[in-house]
Structure 1
Amino acid sequence: MSSWRPRLLLLLACAVLAACRPAADPATPPVETVEVASPEEGGAVSTAPLTDEDMPEAALPEAGLEAVDWSPMTLSDGTASLGCELDYANAGDGTVLTEFDRDALREAMSTCAERGVFRLRFRGRVTQEFTQLMQRLAVVADELAINKRVLDIDSSGGMVEEALRAGDVIAESRWTIWVRDGAVCHSSCVFVLAGGDTRLIGGRVGIHRIIRMSSSASTRAELNRELRAVYGRVRDYLERNGAAVAVADLMMAVPNRSLRILTPDELKLYGLDGVNPAQDDLDRLRLMRKCGQDFVNRRDAYVRAFDTTCNAPDRDVEQLAACGLELRGKFGFPDAQCPSESPLSEFDLVGQMTAAADIASRLRILGVPGVDPQSAADPRPTEPTPTRRRERASPASAAEAANGAAPPRPPSDETAAGDETLIETGETAETAEPVEPDTER
């Protein structure tokens, strides 16, 4: 009996300690976001007049204000292709750009002028050359009156400062950004993504801590002082481009040898997916003056319906577009008065709406009960489209079913050439190789 007494005392001591522990915190409830019928009906509407004295000084983008440098350049850390077609699965990525002077770019883009849309497929690192390319393309697109511009990007990141400059160029020159299925947008590429008017994401987006390769710091305090200055610029950039400044804080907690892969919910939460909130505010004011309140109400209803029915994490860019094209007819788009301002109008310009909508109709890509736009706005009446739940298939499969023959499938995209090799570890991916020197990520 005596041999059991020490064990009994030990068990009693453990029980007492367990009873004294504080109760475990309840699980953090998921973030809930609900839609409103109209932003004007919410409780955050400002109408008071403002003077220059009322508005504090804000950090302004630098790249949009500087003269474009037309000196000879090459793309040593990437490849760029330019085409007038948005259907990359069947039409490919266009012509590879090898010359970047004004005349060469004008010649390459002139064939897209009649359609009014072009797509740049870029694979590589974000460097000064990438920023210069975006500046030059924006200038030539303005000269040719090509107002619909798509950046189809696949990048593992690069220079932070160049990503901010390129993102400001993109923001000022109105680009849609794609991260197609199989592509990535990691590290500083996320800042480029933030600058787009609309972001369609089928690939993976990841972030990690910025590294100061040119730092002279020898203590944590010195390094932190430098990083605070860099992150201050990042926060200013995110704020003026409608993304959550919390992205910068989240980056600080992820070692630069790892990647925090953002979930679809996080991309929406941080303002990195879908319509850019900052640009949406500007567009609302402009569209109300040009197209009227009814147009704006229908556009808002469409955006909400797109996010609900089309923007699923298992769909690539091609499926997102096909779904959106079919959905918008229920809201009276394209609008007769403002066709170019209608959602996904770039597809109208290249004459692909009918084909893409037919693909969506054949496959029932929506796969969900039809959305009733009348409950959110008062769009033009249209015949309801019956929906049936079927297995989702790719647009290439739809073309095969429609034409009776399988079209050639595009080559699968590999991860953009860069300095990161990913090893999956759940929500965080490890980078097997160290960050290249002289790179501020």
Structure 2
Amino acid sequence: MTGIERMRMKSWSLWLCLALAACSGNGSDGRPPVTFGNDADGTPDVVVDPVPAAAPEDVMTSTYWPDATLESGTARISCSFDYEADGEGQKLESLTFFALVDALSPCRDEGRVRVRYDGKIGAGFTALLQRVAAMAERMEIKTRVLDISSTGGHVEEAIRAGDVMANTRWDIWVREDAICHSACVLVLAGGDTRSITGKVGIHRLIRDRSQANSRAELRAELKQVHGDVTEYLERNGGAAALADLMMTVPNRDLRLLTADELKLYGLNGINAAQSDLNRIVVMRRCGKEFVQRRDAFAYAFERECLKDPGEGFEEQSQCGARLSQRFGFPDATCPNDGPMAEAVREATPDRLAKATTKPDGPTAGAATRSR
């Protein structure tokens, strides 16, 4: 048997194992999947994906990826943030290795990719994020934006997808014409920055095929998943209180979160957990004075440069590059650790002269980043 045949056999064996797990009807831990009940229109919020999404990392570094499909939504790939001028992008027909090569190759020179996703949160959604990130890493595409509209789906997959995003450095948009309900809300916690102008809503967890006949039995069923949600929110900079709030809203209803509540629960703007991690790492490398200037830049950036999703993202980057000069960046000691280091390196005097600002704009877009 040749080396290539062995690799194909290994890939097929992995796929078979994953497929058998999916056929059991339960999650990876053997428990029935959990959803957030019904959508606002009364449609059961249940997602069925034939193949679990998360492939082992060593498999994702090869060219033989296990089968996965987007059964519950559609995805489009764009290298532009200006969706009004340039459209939503090319529809992604497949999640295979070479389909992702073709889809992301045009974005290599731009150094950025936007994934527009409309649909449910399920195994295919997690696979989409994992595979786009894996291909973007190969192509050194550092800026990754999830542009999402979703009514919800499986809680477990939302947690897996959020952790994938946290580990592979995504920003998230919920545009004015978009929604993010139910399980989608958990995905927000995984982003580095969250730019939200659309509607974000929550309601109660409910287990598919529940066997509960009393409140006590229902509580026992959901105790574990409530703990999983709480732990997930805490490690990703979200507020544990959000998990408690979810449990107070009947699954047939929907509670929309206000802009103040989104900030309170750690779901909008710059991710606190990632910001603190960046700060700790940079402090070790560059010193306290450097970090203090970097923090001052971040406050000024939020006040002067942030705009609504898709509106003037280029101008936002140029504004940040010009603002960096005011605070003494790039710094000769740590040239690659300053705020918006990539944008500063790419900025030319002509581009900086054309940069525009928008004081007191809503929180949106990426501010500081150490990759």
| TM superposition score normalised by structure 1 | 0.61
Residues paired across the two proteins, number? 301
Cα gap change, 1:248 to 1:283, in 2 (>3 Å): same
- TM-superposed CA distance for 1:316, in Å, is 2.7
Q: Cα offset for 1:191?
A: 0.9
* One of 168, 176, 182 as aligned partner of 2:163: 168
One-letter identity of the residue aligned with 2:213: S
One-letter code of the match for 2:133?
Answer: A
In 2, distance between residues paired with 1:356 and 1:163?
39
Q: Which amino acid letter does the alignment assign opposite residue 166 of structure 1?
A: A
Q: Deviations over 1:308-338 (max 9, x none)?
A: 5566xxx631348446753663343793356
Alignment of 1:240-279 (within 5 A): 240-279=235-274
SS of residue matched to 2:207: coil
Distance in 2 (alpha carbons) for counterparts of 1:144 and 1:96? 20
Superposed displacement of residue 86, structure 1: 1.7
Does the CA-based 8 Å contact 1:154-1:184 persist in structure 2? yes
Per-residue CA deviations over 1:71-96 (Å, capped at 9, x if unaligned) read 33332211111111122221222211
Distance 1:79 1:334 in 2: 44
Q: 1:131 to 1:216 in 2, by over 3 A?
A: same
Q: Tell me, yes or no, if structure 1 residue 75 matches structure 2 residue 70.
A: yes
Other structure's SS at 2:254 match: strand
1:298 to partner: Cα distance: 2.8
Matched with 1:177 is: 172
Q: Distance in 1 between matches of 2:178 and 2:336?
A: 29
Matched, 1:330 2:323: yes
RMSD (Å) for aligned C-alpha atoms = 3.1
1: CA distance, partners of 2:83 / 2:233: 30
Equivalent residue, structure 2, for 1:110: 105
Once residues 100 and 350 of structure 1 are traced to their aligned partners in structure 2, the CA distance between those partners, rounded to angstroms, is 32
Pick which of 283-292 and 134-143 moved more.
283-292
Could you tell me whether the CA contact under 8 Å between 2:79 and 2:106 is conserved in 1? yes
Distance change >3 Å, CA 349–CA 123, structure 1 → 2: farther
Of residues 181, 187, 191, the one that matches 1:186 is 181
Aligned-pair distance for 1:211? 1.4
Q: For residue 318 of structure 1, give the secondary structure of its aligned residue in structure 2.
A: coil
CA distance in 2, matches of 1:198, 1:171: 10
Change (3 A) 1:154 1:74: same
Q: Which amino acid aligns with 1:198?
A: T
Of 309, 331, 337, which residue of structure 2 is paired with 1:317?
Answer: 309
State the 1:109 CA deviation: 0.9
Partner of 2:148, secondary structure, is: strand
Instruction: Give the C-alpha shift of residue 299 in structure 1.
Output: 2.7
CA contact (8 A) 1:63 1:168 kept: no
Cα distance in 1 for partners of 2:247, 2:305 equals 32
Aligned twin of 1:120: 115
1:355 Cα deviation after fit: 6.9
The aligned amino acid for 1:317 is P
Higher deviation after alignment, 279-288 or 159-168:
279-288
**What SS is found at the alignment partner of 2:356?**
helix
Q: CA deviation at 1:155?
A: 1.0
8 Å Cα contact 2:188/2:267 also seen in 1: yes
2:89 paired with 1:99: no
User: Partners of 2:68 and 2:250 in 1: how far apart?
Assistant: 34
Counterpart of 1:366 (choices 327, 345, 359) is: 359
CA distance in 2, matches of 1:142, 1:185: 27
Letter in 2 for 1:360: T
What is the aligned-residue identity percentage? 48
CA distance in 2, matches of 1:171, 1:211: 26
Q: Is contact 2:171-2:192 (8 Å) kept?
A: yes
**One-letter code aligned to 1:170:** M
* Distance in 2 (alpha carbons) for counterparts of 1:92 and 1:347: 24
Q: Name the CA shift for 1:265/1:307 in 2 (closer, same or farther; >3 Å).
A: farther
Residue of structure 1 aligned with 2:200, choices 196, 201, 205:
205
Cα 1:200–1:295 change in 2 (3 A) is farther
Rounded to whole Å, the distance in 2 between the matches of 1:292 and 1:262 is 39
Q: Distance in 2 between matches of 1:357 and 1:227?
A: 56
User: Is residue 321–residue 352 contact of structure 2 (8 Å, CA) maintained in 1?
Assistant: no
State the partner residue of 2:365.
none
CA distance in 2, matches of 1:201, 1:211: 26
Structure 1 residue identity aligned to 2:356: A
Instruction: Give the secondary structure class of the aligned counterpart of 2:146.
Output: strand
Matched letter for residue 67 of structure 2: P
Higher relative contact order (CA 8 A, sep 6+): 1
Give me the whole-angstrom Cα distance separating, in 2, the residues matched to 1:82 and 1:179. Answer: 16
Q: Contact 2:111 / 2:143 at 8 angstroms: preserved in 1?
A: yes
